Structure 1
Amino acid sequence: MGGRPKLIAIDHDDYHAEHIGCTRDGRRFILTNPFDPAIGNNPGCEFVALYIFDKAGQLIDAKIDSFGPRSGLDEDARSSLYEERLTSLGDVSIERIEVAPFAVERFDLEFGLIARPPQEDDDAWAVEMQPGNYMAFFEPWDSGEYDT
């Protein structure tokens, strides 16, 4: 089995990878809606996250905003901020990107494309979009495809 990936390819789609691509100056970006799932007494939480990467795919900025639990979510406010973040990027091309795994901590949670080593001898490396593990990548790292 291969090792920890240096870069992960992500193909554009109309689901979790709807707003990925490049800015006019060549930076890469991912605009997404992570979530902390409701478990036990934890009510969960909804977020808007904009990750910006340099031309080599290394994270250079993470803007993450919390919108609280799904049960009290102000969908209009979340949609408005999401659109504001997209507009802030200027002219963009929506396209396949390759970025390095990364992790940042906000709101006492780990956000990012987080590399997970194998837990058993016959397991493989995985890279998960967290929180919420709503995009999971496996070898080959250049396939551009993910599991939900």
Structure 2
Amino acid sequence: MGAPDLIAIDHDNYHAEHVGRTADGRQFFLTTPFEAATGGEQGNEFVALYLFDLKGRLLEARIDEFGPRAEMDRDRRRDCYEARLRELGEVTFTRIEVAPFAVEQFGTTFGLIARPGDDEDAAWWVELHPGNCMAFTEPWDSGEYDT
């Protein structure tokens, strides 16, 4: 038991709508992570494009910040999201297999972050941060996640 080397993410029509491969074989994951509001402060909204090599190692994280949900320009965020998707060129939406990772930008930790369970015998998890809107556990090759 322990953190996985790779996790599978199956393409779906929900949080994994834009996962797949580029024409040159790179894997990608386009998502809209967010910081939860805490202590009276509003969290920020983001667009994140993660690019991985053929073996699932992170190559690049392209992250754009849009400020708090209540104040952000939703059209601007949608336009950015669509532009990030277009910049990939021709893509195939399909299962990807990628390694957990973490990157720091805008004072926030982004990524698919592995963490042990809450007690010694509990399973490991890999969570999409910020926002923790996707959580993966064994079997790591299932392609399924909890929300």
Calculate the TM-score normalised by the size of structure 2.
0.98
- State the shift of 1:41 in Å: 2.6
Opposite residue 140 of structure 1, the aligned amino acid is: P
Paired residue secondary structure (2:38): coil
- State the shift of 1:36 in Å: 0.2
Measure, in 2, the Cα distance between the counterparts of 1:4 and 1:112.
14
Paired residue secondary structure (2:83): helix
Question: Aligned Cα RMSD in Å?
Answer: 0.7
- The residue number in structure 2 matching 1:47 is 46
Equivalent residue runs for 1:44-83 within 5 Å: 44-83=43-82
Opposite residue 9 of structure 1, the aligned amino acid is: A
Equivalent residue runs for 1:1-148 within 5 Å: 2-148=1-147
- Superposed CA deviations along residues 9-68 of structure 1, whole A, max 9, x for unmatched, are 000111110000000000000000000011113211100000000000000000001000
Opposite residue 66 of structure 1, the aligned amino acid is: E
- State the shift of 1:88 in Å: 0.3
Q: Identity, % of aligned pairs?
A: 63
Opposite residue 136 of structure 1, the aligned amino acid is: A
Paired residue secondary structure (2:75): helix
Measure, in 2, the Cα distance between the counterparts of 1:118 and 1:77.
38
Measure, in 2, the Cα distance between the counterparts of 1:3 and 1:59.
20
Q: Gaps (5+ residues) in structure 1?
A: none
Q: Gaps (5+ residues) in structure 2?
A: none
Opposite residue 136 of structure 2, the aligned amino acid is: F
Paired residue secondary structure (1:46): strand
Measure, in 2, the Cα distance between the counterparts of 1:119 and 1:52.
30
Runs of 4+ with deviation above 6 angstroms: none
- State the shift of 1:118 in Å: 2.8
